[in-house]
Chain A
Amino acid sequence: MKLTVDGVELEVPKGTLLVEAARKVKQEIPIYCYHTKLGPAGLCRVCLVEIEGMPKLQIACNTQVTDGMVVRTRSEKADAGRAMVIELLLANHPLDCPICDKGGECDLQDYAMAYGRGMSDVVDPKERKPKAVDLGPTIVLDEERCVVCQRCVRFDDIIVRDAQLVVKDRGHRDIIATATGAPYRHYFTGNVTELCPVGALTSKTYRFKSRPWDLRRTQTSCTQCSVGCRQFVDVRYGKIMRTMTVAEDEAISDGWLCDRGRYNIGFYESPERLTQPLYKSDGRFIQIGWDDAFDLWATALRKAAARPASIGAIGGGRLTNEEAYVLQHLFRSLGTKNLDWRAGRQRQATPGARAGSIAEIETMQAILIAGEEPAELAPVFDLRIRKAVLRNGARVIHASDAARTLAELGSGVERAALIWDGVDLDLGRVLHERLAVIPNLRTYIVSEQPNARGAEAMGMLPEAGGRDTAAMLDDALAVISLFGVNPVRNAPASFGAREALERTPFVVVSELFMTQTAELATLILPATGAFEKSGTTTSFAGDLLSLTPSLQAPEGTLADLEMLVGLARALRIELPSREEVEAAVAQRATLPAEFGFGDVRYGKSYGDEGAPPRRLFSGGGTCLHDERIAVLVDSAEVPA
């Protein structure tokens, strides 16, 4: 389709909306209700354009391009219509920009400056509405600022498929509210604050905190689950003010964030963070320096090195790929084969030869879920599943039994996804074998630790003759080093992690907080968090993600990589160079594809009867100190 926009000729595919076509020639058409992810709604009427041959102004958001169309986005008529819409939007708008969080990044401000009359004939008093409506745990609504674009309502309806937010009342008395009056609460509420083109929907965590021009912005990947959404981190005076979505992140996040990724940021500045190495002496922790810590650690390892099998290391799922690689390299050079990233119930993280990409899930006709819900373990990935259901009418089937699943599936399904939590290896193996009859089966394993797949790929698995986590705990090693794992809380009860660690003579724990596992340590090493370091991680679907530091690490903490370097120096072991590490990471980014579901190399599953379901939103994983996240969940779900 060829068309002309403001004199510029361009060619776009059939079905393209005019508003998107105009973007291609960098011709901005103002929009409030339209959103690329939500589609046209035709409500705000600000995207008016003049189209040759049509007597009335048309809305660019709902006009499909036709061949030979001649469009003027700036003509006397279009400008007058648009200026009127902006004047009307301001007729009841409070103009409290000086105290509005959106001030400085507000579409209404920008468009009023660019397309408005610069004045208004409104002399009558404006409609007064409530200024601070508590919508739920995360969001406060200013009714007066709302321009009723319904983006939030449509987000809840189309994207989340939960339809909690609705428009109530009518006409200029319109207000946004939950349909039932119950608190606005699901896993993705924070996105509405970004969709809101004005300052009506605001995050409780960010209200009145900062102005956009005072923020220092960096872009990194979220490490709170195995999806790894790109996110902006906005920092002021060295503190995180907020995190935001990255719209261009099509491959991973689709431009959304879950509330955990968005709001669980308070722990970085918690006063409870560990900021000095601690050594247990006579049952009490004493503060020591880093040099002493490395010496104590190295001495213990050297003493045990005569019998390398008495040395073990667990961790990697919360480290970067580089750290995981160096970790296994260093401990392997000590002669041990006792390496494992698995500190919880998950046994496997690499989904084999039929691995699917995150975006691919949208095209599926059926989605088979084995084990725990992706909604809990990988919320933003779950939004894609909802999309597949909405778009293709994909069926979601809980696959706990291969035969029953196949029967339920029936014939004619060409594209299906098997999503597994990697816990029950026998189930995974059987499903994988039996479901292979589906022509285009794609497999996914959503992990309980963010970088489980990366750690597995980097070699944090026991090799032949080595012990896995259960065996390491069972055997009571001489020296065990734990990196960002909390087996006391997260490992199956049958591991007896507490007793095992109490029996182990020398336990080293690298952590941000005094966890249940850290309490049992001989030596505690205070670690930096994900926003404080650089490196790469691997998403559950195999995407290589990069971390860029946006915060300065608290004094006294070290990144796990720095700890390993310090230890290697104390042990006089030479580590691979930076270039060698980077090359190894790039090469190993994912494990060989032939690792099937439930591959024997993963060992066996461990029973965990009676264990509570793992829920990301109750502070699952090892994030014990989810200070702000606690407000997001029902009290019953908040861990004690």
Chain B
Amino acid sequence: MPVTKVLTEGIGEVDLRSIEVYRKRGGYEQWKRALSSLKPEEVMEYADKSGLRGRGGAGFPTGKKWSFLPKNGKPRYLVCNSDEAEPGTFKDRMLIENVPHLVLEGMLLGAYGIGSHHAFIYIRGEFKDGYQVFARALDEARAAGFVGKNILSSGYDLEVTVHRGAGAYICGEETALLNSLEGKRGEPRLKPPFPAVEGLYGMPTVVNNVETLAYLVPVLARGWEWFAGAGTERSKGFKIVSVSGHVQRPGNYEVPLGTPVRELLDLAGGLRPGRTLKAIQPGGGSSACIFEEQLDLPYDYESLAKAGTMLGSGAVVVFDDTTDFVKAAYNLVRFFSHESCGQCTPCREGGHWLERVLERFVDGRGLRGDLDMMHRVSATITGINLCPLGDSIEPFLKSVLNRFPEQFEARIA
């Protein structure tokens, strides 16, 4: 089994939370190099040519996202999205808790690459440990002169602000995050304008995921060719995959993109003895299921999209034959209903309606017409919402309604 160690290098072996340890292993060298010998455009070129795509869920090419910033002389902001809350995802948490300096260096490089003098990191409210670790790392970096005014006598100023969320899934959506960061209610904004044009405080803004920014450090250290050489034609490089559910060793596994799903399962120790596989959610709570016959699918953006699902945030949730899929569907739909900001009618009311229906099913009080109705409602509310949250309700529900109808029919009173 190929074990890849890029971002996860050293985790569990040494204490990379300490700036000394991090620097001994080459930490902040890329930041120093960028400040002394690279132009921002060159950093952007690394991001672009490496083929690095957004690791938060949408998989949008990072270099392309940066290139949307207008050249209008306005201040620009980089925001690191660490509001990791997609059900089944726990990779960003691991990164900020274990390699905060790597994340910070990635942020500094990203901010430099887009010509920003102020970077923000929005840390999920529940990540209290991660917040403390990161804040300490930032203090260390500032004391070492890597953050602040005229960094390392380069003339470049870059300030970093740490912000804690208050416990809303929706704030992981980039425009809701920006609202929340500004002190407003965490609701997605109507687009256009997109954040690249009018983002934080109305200024051009790039929002990148923790993992995305962290990968900038090895990309600069080892070259974009190295990164682009891994993975597949369009899904280049590596990805940390959070494997959870009915496996023997749930955890984060870093792999080249395109690794077959079967191997991810093997990395996580496979199923427990005597169990059989029923379904896998390959990309977090918002993704549709794949099944046993699809285990050889390469784990990359294109293959999963072609199979009708998505790679998302890289959360592989495994369900074995002990799963009550009615309860599983109820659990996820209740989550989305609970986390809906309530702006859009389809998400607010549709999610709540389906939650109430599934609650009845859990109690064994389903009605004859409910299955058709759930298909109709979940399908019609998809694609007509302001943000992706409302569109996240259907995929899992539809998968299990289609695959395990008998489990639902058994609950019809």
Residues of chain B with a CB closer than 8 A to A92's CB: 349, 352
Q: Tell me, rounded to whole Å, the shortest Cβ–Cβ distance linking B155 to chain A.
A: 32
Q: Which of A166-174, A470-478, A543-551 contacts B (4 or more CB under 8 A)?
A: A166-174
Residues of chain A with a CB closer than 8 A to B340's CB: 170-172
Contact status B342-A167, CB under 8 Å: yes
Contact status A45-B385, CB under 8 Å: yes
**In the bound complex, CA of A172 to CA of B343 (Å):** 9
Q: Tell me, rounded to whole Å, the shortest Cβ–Cβ distance linking B206 to chain A.
A: 23
Q: Which residue of A lies closest to B187 (CB)?
A: A167
Q: Which residue of B lies closest to A93 (CB)?
A: B349
Q: Tell me, rounded to whole Å, the shortest Cβ–Cβ distance linking A149 to chain B.
A: 9
Interface residues of A in 155-173 (CB under 8 A from B): 166-167, 169-173
**In the bound complex, CA of A40 to CA of B338 (Å):** 26
Interface residue B337 (Cβ < 8 Å from any Cβ of A): yes
Candidate in A43, A125, A166 with the most chain B CB atoms within 10 angstroms: A43
Contact (A148, B342) CB under 8 Å given A42-B386, A62-B190, A171-B337 = yes
Q: Which residue of A lies closest to B352 (CB)?
A: A172
Residues of chain B with a CB closer than 8 A to A41's CB: 190
As a 0/1 sequence over residues 375 to 413 of chain B, the CB contacts with chain A under 8 angstroms (1 = contact) are: 001001101111000000000000000000000000000
Contact status A166-B380, CB under 8 Å: no
Interface residues of B in 303-356 (CB under 8 A from A): 337-346, 348-353, 356
Contact status B369-A91, CB under 8 Å: no
**In the bound complex, CA of A174 to CA of B345 (Å):** 11
Residues of chain A with a CB closer than 8 A to B383's CB: 56-57
Residues of chain A with a CB closer than 8 A to B381's CB: 84, 88
Q: Tell me, rounded to whole Å, the shortest Cβ–Cβ distance linking B146 to chain A.
A: 37
Contact status A166-B346, CB under 8 Å: no
Question: Which of A40, A91, A121, A171 touches B341 (beta carbons < 8 Å)?
Answer: A171
Candidate in B168, B343, B345 with the most chain A CB atoms within 10 angstroms: B345
Interface residue A147 (Cβ < 8 Å from any Cβ of B): yes
Interface residues of A in 73-99 (CB under 8 A from B): 80-81, 84-85, 88-89, 91-92
Interface residue B11 (Cβ < 8 Å from any Cβ of A): no
Interface residue A124 (Cβ < 8 Å from any Cβ of B): yes
Interface residue A353 (Cβ < 8 Å from any Cβ of B): no
**In the bound complex, CA of A433 to CA of B360 (Å):** 78
Interface residue B357 (Cβ < 8 Å from any Cβ of A): yes
Question: Which of B168, B352, B357, B377 touches A84 (beta carbons < 8 Å)?
Answer: B377
Interface residue B185 (Cβ < 8 Å from any Cβ of A): yes
Interface residue A464 (Cβ < 8 Å from any Cβ of B): no
Question: Which of A57, A80, A170 touches B342 (beta carbons < 8 Å)?
Answer: A170
Size band of the A side of the interface?
35 or more
Interface residue A530 (Cβ < 8 Å from any Cβ of B): no
**In the bound complex, CA of A167 to CA of B343 (Å):** 9
Q: Tell me, rounded to whole Å, the shortest Cβ–Cβ distance linking B316 to chain A.
A: 28
Interface residue A46 (Cβ < 8 Å from any Cβ of B): yes
Contact status A85-B190, CB under 8 Å: no
Size band of the B side of the interface?
20 to 34
Q: Tell me, rounded to whole Å, the shortest Cβ–Cβ distance linking B133 to chain A.
A: 29
Q: Tell me, rounded to whole Å, the shortest Cβ–Cβ distance linking B383 to chain A.
A: 5
**In the bound complex, CA of A154 to CA of B318 (Å):** 44
Contact status A172-B345, CB under 8 Å: no
Contact (A91, B384) CB under 8 Å given A41-B190, A170-B168, A172-B342 = no
Interface residues of A in 33-66 (CB under 8 A from B): 40-46, 48, 56-57, 62
Contact (A171, B190) CB under 8 Å given A44-B345, A121-B369, A123-B367 = no
Question: Which of B339, B349, B380 touches A91 (beta carbons < 8 Å)?
Answer: B349
Contact status B356-A89, CB under 8 Å: no
**In the bound complex, CA of A172 to CA of B367 (Å):** 23
Q: Tell me, rounded to whole Å, the shortest Cβ–Cβ distance linking A94 to chain B.
A: 14
Q: Tell me, rounded to whole Å, the shortest Cβ–Cβ distance linking B388 to chain A.
A: 12
Contact status B338-A171, CB under 8 Å: yes
Interface residue A110 (Cβ < 8 Å from any Cβ of B): no
Q: Which residue of A lies closest to B387 (CB)?
A: A42
Q: Which residue of A lies closest to B350 (CB)?
A: A88
Interface residue B373 (Cβ < 8 Å from any Cβ of A): yes
Contact status A124-B337, CB under 8 Å: no
Contact status B386-A43, CB under 8 Å: yes
**In the bound complex, CA of A93 to CA of B278 (Å):** 39
**In the bound complex, CA of A84 to CA of B350 (Å):** 9
Interface residue A122 (Cβ < 8 Å from any Cβ of B): yes
Q: Using CB atoms and an 8 Å cutoff, list the residues of chain B in contact with chain A.
A: 168, 185, 190, 337-346, 348-353, 356-357, 360, 367, 369, 373, 377, 380-381, 383-386
Show 21 A/B contacts (Cβ-Cβ < 8 Å), sorted by A: A41-B190, A42-B344, A42-B386, A44-B345, A45-B384, A56-B383, A81-B384, A84-B381, A85-B345, A88-B381, A89-B345, A91-B349, A121-B373, A123-B367, A124-B353, A124-B357, A125-B356, A148-B348, A171-B340, A172-B342, A172-B352
Taking A45-B346, A172-B348, A172-B349 as given, write out 4 further A-B residue pairs in contact, using a Cβ cutoff of 8 Å, ordered by the A residue number. A56-B384, A84-B381, A89-B349, A127-B352
Which 3 pairs, one residue from A and one from B, show the smallest C-beta to C-beta distance?
A: A88-B349, A174-B342, A171-B340
